[in-house]
A and B are shown apart, each in its own frame.
Chain A
Amino acid sequence: MNFDLSDDQKMLAKTVADFGKKESTVERFRKLRDADGLGFEKATWKKMGELGWLAIPFPEEVGGLGGSFVDAGIVLEQLGKTLVPEPYLSSVVLGGHALWLGGSPAQHEKLLAPMMEGDTILALAFAERNVRFDPRCCATTARREGDAWVISGQKAFVLDGHAADHLVVAAMSDQGMQLFVVDAAACERKTVRLMDGHRAAHVTLRDVSVGEDRRLTARPAVEVLERVLDFGAAGAVAEGLGVAFAMLWTTVEYLKTREQFDVKIGTFQALQHRTVDMFVEVELLKSIHTESVVRASEEGPERTRAISAAKLQLAQGGQLVSRQAIQLHGGVGVTDEHDIGLWFKRMHTLVTICGDESAHVARYAATMDAS
């Protein structure tokens, strides 16, 4: 067994980490959060395209760099540390993987390639209001009219849907679930501000007509969605690992400097043990994250099990870290001024999207071996 990154992968991790330290600090995220714009910058997205980060996990035959999902995980982990707000998870992992898995070569060329360049943004529109993480619960409909498909319905919390050029929309037809790539401009979109400072869109499709060339047919839509949501879950865990790591070490540093009762508060054994608990959870997260990004591209039950186990660890361990990080900072941890709260809020999003704790435990339990 070998858990080591290759030299190329180490290089990638360092490049993205340096980018976070120099060009996209938490301060940058905070400014963009508080400003009226998109919450991120298209110029930075373009730059990520030029650096090849957006093409990394896709195979060469669709114009990608032929890396693996492990590489996407490396990027996401580093982006999480400084809360880089560009839509990597939503556009590369969710929208991009849906197009890759479901699309034809022509669709890859026309719709996926520009996203990999950083020229466009893709979002996945599957969720609907008040329905939990089951993409098969879908009230949006698609009906055939001549050569075209007419789609009607509403999608909720489309991550980065406010800024997307194209939406991959799940809709129910008389032949079952279908996926379509819809121009965002053809939909009504309302921007929703999220707790973590990112944005999403509530999308209304009123008889939006798309050609057959916009239907994704390479694989059954339900299969594509299931796999994409698994990539999304593994991606969320990767980013969450970066977030947890940043919170752990920021807290350890704080305990080494903050003084009360004439000593560093890190000398209190109760607090030492608490940070040890946090550290242990981050190590567990790192291990199961590794398994989940490795298996994310596999078929079969070991993939879903590893990813669900990773998502549980994020929910339990990751949130233990984010809650205790605030606690150990005392009053300053409850201010909006301190970075701890920003990581705390991002952690909640990552825990919630692509299946929360209960959903993943239920899925794991359903496929668990009897002995």
Chain B
Amino acid sequence: MDLSFSPEEEAFRQEVRAWIAQNMPPHLKAKAEQAAHFEMPEVMEWHELLYAKGWVAPHWPKEFGGPGFSATQRFILGEELELAGTPPLSPFGLVMVAPLIMRFGSDAQRQRFLPKILSGEEVWCQGYSEPNAGSDLASLRTMAVDAGDHFVVTGQKTWTTYAQYADWIFCLVRTSTEGKKQQGISFLLIDMKTPGVEVKPMQTLGDTPAFCDTFFDNAKVPKENLLGPLNGGWNLAKALLGHERTLVAAVGQTRRNLRLAKRLAAHHLGANGKPLLEDPHFRSKLARLEMRLRAHQMTNYRALAEQQKGHHPGPESSILKLVGSMLVQEADELCMELMGQSSLAWHDDEAVEPFERWVPPTFCYDRATTIYAGSNEIQKNIIAKLILGMPGA
């Protein structure tokens, strides 16, 4: 057993750190410094810089333009980016649909889509959930009717994150109503500019327009945009879920949150006039969170070591999602408590310090972390069934 990183890995960490320090534009650094929310144009600006460096898709194989990193290198890069507070890249193209296109797509589809995902020229969003198909995704009803050389798609997707910025959407659609629900689902790639596709942004609890209703009204989608076999979409969806869950382990995000909490604790004074960071009560609260995070981080490393050996993420990835999302929320809650009355301010630059402004909206929005990417209840069902082998589960 050896829990340390190798000298080469440590050297790589230093290289990444130095590169970020030199190449992250000052206005993005300023926002990171204030723990601010990045707008989509800023995310894409950063995407282009990483693309130019060859680091935008660390998990992609070399043949598709990836850097050929080991699992550990990928992890180190991800961790350093998160710690530096760089804009989180949109995952829908790079992390979600691209691996499916590599695995299930035709050569023509690979050539058509992958380069533009890599360069950031085309932005993607995910069209799975519907008003009546959330946890029970297989009961989705958006219909794709065969019309010769194309499908005609009609229905509604919901909670589509950043659909208003997307050029393409990958959708689960119903192509058959026969047999089991799961058997009649196909995986379609749809151009957002298709006539009949309409996007309506909605405000979240954080007062940001982060998700949308996406409507399809007789939208014509060419058949070459079917990914994988007709009525075989469910298998693609399942392959994607494992990736999505490792994404939300959120170790870097929680560590950054913890750092923010310490900064807040140094800034706010307790009843004795001393910073809360020196108050044993708040210090032990911070310590507890850091200690729990350590256990989570080690769990993440264990999963990583498995991947290094070539194993695909299995049901254990549910643990990472479960714990990661809860720790994100605990860190937000602690930040709010440390801010005291200042935590009541809402999107107000003057009432609080600039670095505090995004704490309350983030606290609100992050209630979503235990809901999206498979709610925590669903994760527990998965663990009960697939790991513990519970009867009837």
Contact = CB atoms under 8 A, between A and B. Distances in A.
Contacts of B371: 326-327, 330-331, 333-334
B337 A357 contact: yes
Contact of A132 (B134, B158, B269, B336): B269
Contact of A327 (B345, B350, B367, B380): B367
Interface residues of B, number: 51
Contacts of A359: 271
A347 to B, nearest CB: 12
Best-buried of A202, A259, A323, A348 by chain B (most CB within 10 Å) = A348
Contact of A193 (B204, B269, B329, B346): B346
Contacts of A335: 202-205
Given A131-B269, A202-B351, A157 B344 contact: yes
Contacts, number: 134
A36 B96 CA distance: 42
Contacts of B364: 195, 341, 344-345
B273 A327 contact: no
A192 B350 CA distance: 9
A133 B372 CA distance: 36
Interface string B207-248: 100010000000000000000000000000000000000000
Interface in A318-366: 323, 326-327, 330-331, 333-337, 341, 344-345, 348-349, 352-353, 356-359, 362
Contacts of B273: 137
Interface in A248-301: 259-262, 268, 270-271
Nearest to A327: B370
Contacts of A323: 329, 367
A130 B342 contact: yes
Contacts of B267: 130
Contacts of B132: 259
B129 interface: yes
Contacts of B368: 331, 334
Contact count band on A: 35 or more
A177 to B, nearest CB: 15
B159 A157 contact: no
A115 interface: no
A333 B367 contact: yes
A221 interface: no
Best-buried of A132, A200, A259 by chain B (most CB within 10 Å) = A132
Best-buried of B211, B281, B346 by chain A (most CB within 10 Å) = B346
A190 B207 CA distance: 22
B202 A336 contact: yes
A194 B348 CA distance: 9
Contacts of A196: 344
B271 A132 contact: yes
Interface in B127-161: 129, 132-136, 139, 158-159
Interface of B: 129, 132-136, 139, 158-159, 202-205, 207, 211, 267-271, 273, 276, 281-282, 329, 336-337, 340-348, 350-351, 360, 363-365, 367-368, 370-372, 375-377, 380
- What are the 5 tightest A-B residue pairs by CB atom distance, in nearest-first order? A336-B203, A260-B136, A134-B271, A195-B346, A192-B351
8 contacts: A130-B342, A156-B351, A194-B344, A195-B360, A195-B364, A323-B329, A335-B203, A352-B341
Given A195-B343, A323-B329, A353-B341, 5 more contacts: A130-B267, A130-B340, A132-B269, A331-B371, A344-B364
